[in-house]
């Protein structure tokens, strides 16, 4: 009776945990670009995918990992699971990405986009599409910041201005903060890709079809090394992120140099004001010396000079 009670208690607790399990809004995209949307409990989802509960926690801001012949991707707010047959986007409703998911990603996976990996297995297309989206977002942020920063700096370092516009300084401060956030995101992106490039086993594991489709494996051993293709793909986006990081670094150096020029201009104006103050003080002192003569003769004292 005790064992039966424990068994019933365990089943009840599992049922309770399953009832409070989070529900994912899932968008499923297959090789042909067909899109299906549905809701699935986390417990049911990771069981169907052959994963563990911890695999769908998405603890890091960016990560690319493999579990049980599945690729689990986290790109900031984008959470995805890639299999050899389909791509799952989790919590897609909270991302406001329906336009990209339906109009761009679906067509890219179907071969209508500009993906260079279309001739390769499905997981290559899915990874490239996600990396391309992330790089395009980072590029867009840089394209927005760059003209704003250049315009603000040009106004601040103008030698004709005798004072610094505080509103411009406030804009520069906000842009500098946004630039720092962009530099951090680029650094995380590069480090994540570099960690994979440094591990040959991880690159091999990313080639899902190599282990599930014998024909793909035979083609790979006969001269088409999919691991090398995956490495080249990751290196391509690492290089693009490096180029963006260099542009952001140049903007940071330009801001620092402009700050030095602003401080020099302020020091120059401060010296002019100090010189003017000194000249006024000397002039006042000189006039006061001439006033001593009138003071001396205006005193009510008798002397021979009044005669």
Rounded-to-integer distance, Cα 189 and Cα 64, Å: 10
Q: What DSSP designation does 79 have?
A: E
- How many Å from the N-terminal Cα to the C-terminal Cα in the chain? 138
pLDDT tens for the chain, 307 residues long, are 555 445 545 554 554 545 567 888 889 998 888 888 889 888 888 888 888 888 888 777 888 999 889 999 998 888 899 999 999 998 887 666 777 887 788 888 887 767 788 888 889 999 999 999 999 999 999 999 999 988 888 877 765 655 556 677 788 888 889 999 999 999 999 999 999 999 888 898 898 887 776 566 555 544 567 888 899 999 999 999 999 999 999 998 888 877 766 666 666 667 777 888 888 888 787 777 777 766 666 666 666 666 6
CA distances (Å), 36 to each of 89, 94, 104, 118, 124, in order?
A: 10, 17, 15, 21, 21
> 3-state class of 165 per DSSP?
coil
Region of 96 (left: φ > 0; alpha: ψ -120 to 50; beta: rest) is: left
C-alpha closest to that of 35 among 90, 103, 102: 102
What pLDDT does residue 266 have?
A: 67
What pLDDT does residue 222 have?
A: 47
For the entire predicted model, the pTM comes to: 0.76
What pLDDT does residue 261 have?
A: 65
Decide: 208 and 65 in contact? Cβ < 8 Å: no
- Walk me through the domains of the chain, giving residue ranges and CATH numbers: 23-100 (2.40.128.330), 122-265 (1.20.58.340)
């Amino acid at each position: 009776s005790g064992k039966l009670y424990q068994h019933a208690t365990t089943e009840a607790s599992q049922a309770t945990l399953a009832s409070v399990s989070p529900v994912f809004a899932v968008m499923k995209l297959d090789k042909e670009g067909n899109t299906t949307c549905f809701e699935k409990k986390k417990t049911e989802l990771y069981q169907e995918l052959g994963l563990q509960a911890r695999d769908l926690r998405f603890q890091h801001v960016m990560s690319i990992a493999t579990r049980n012949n599945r690729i689990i991707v986290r790109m900031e707010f984008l959470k995805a699971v890639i299999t050899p047959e389909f791509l799952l986007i989790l919590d897609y409703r909270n991302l406001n990405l329906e336009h990209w998911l339906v109009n761009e990603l679906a067509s890219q996976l179907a071969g209508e986009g500009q993906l260079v990996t279309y001739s390769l297995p499905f997981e290559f297309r899915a990874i490239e599409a996600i990396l391309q989206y992330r790089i395009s977002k980072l590029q867009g942020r840089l394209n927005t910041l760059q003209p704003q920063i250049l315009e603000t700096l040009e106004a601040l370092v103008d030698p004709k201005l005798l004072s610094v516009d505080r509103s411009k300084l406030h804009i520069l401060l906000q842009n500098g903060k946004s630039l720092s956030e962009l530099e951090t995101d680029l650094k995380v992106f590069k480090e994540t890709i570099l960690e994979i490039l440094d591990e040959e086993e991880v690159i091999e594991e990313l080639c899902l079809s190599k282990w599930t489709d014998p024909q793909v494996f035979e083609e790979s051993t006969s001269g088409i090394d999919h691991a090398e293709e995956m490495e080249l793909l990751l290196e391509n986006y690492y290089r693009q992120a490096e180029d963006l990081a260099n542009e952001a670094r140049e903007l940071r150096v330009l801001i620092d140099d402009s700050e030095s020029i602003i401080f020099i201009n302020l020091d120059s104006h401060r010296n002019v004001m100090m010189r003017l103050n000194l000249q006024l003080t000397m002039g006042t002192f000189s006039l006061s010396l001439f006033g001593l003569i009138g003071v001396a003769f205006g005193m009510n004292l008798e002397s021979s000079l009044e005669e």
